[in-house]
Structure 1
């Protein structure tokens, strides 16, 4: 069914936020029209790429090389 079974989002991570942090996430999710989990996932992955020095454009090139 899935090309890569490891891409199924079945791993859960709990994050405790104070009211102000939660309000920011909720406001952004409402503004973008997406679920809060999607906002948080995208923020987390962007920060991880920044910290690790991974350029998203290089990932696209790498994926294209593997599929082509």
Structure 2
């Protein structure tokens, strides 16, 4: 059904207080996207920063391996 079964998204629960939830809601409304997308993008950005993953370097490395 899916090309890559590992790309199927699973559900995760995050507990936010009212102030945090309001920030996420406001940003989602401003961007015109669902709250889950805002949170997913924020989480992945933070993970890349913490792990030191640079997507530009990664893309170059993948392209070089494919050649």
Superposition TM-score, scaled by structure 1 size: 0.83
Matched, 1:7 2:3: no
Per-residue displacement from partner, 1:15-62 (whole Å, max 9, x unpaired)?
000000000000000000000000000000000000000001123224
Q: Unmatched 5+ residue regions in structure 2?
A: none
Superposition TM-score, scaled by structure 2 size: 0.85
C-alpha RMSD over aligned residues: 1.7
Q: Unmatched 5+ residue regions in structure 1?
A: none
Partners of 1:16 and 1:6 in 2: how far apart?
Answer: 25
What number of residue pairs does the alignment pair up?
Answer: 67
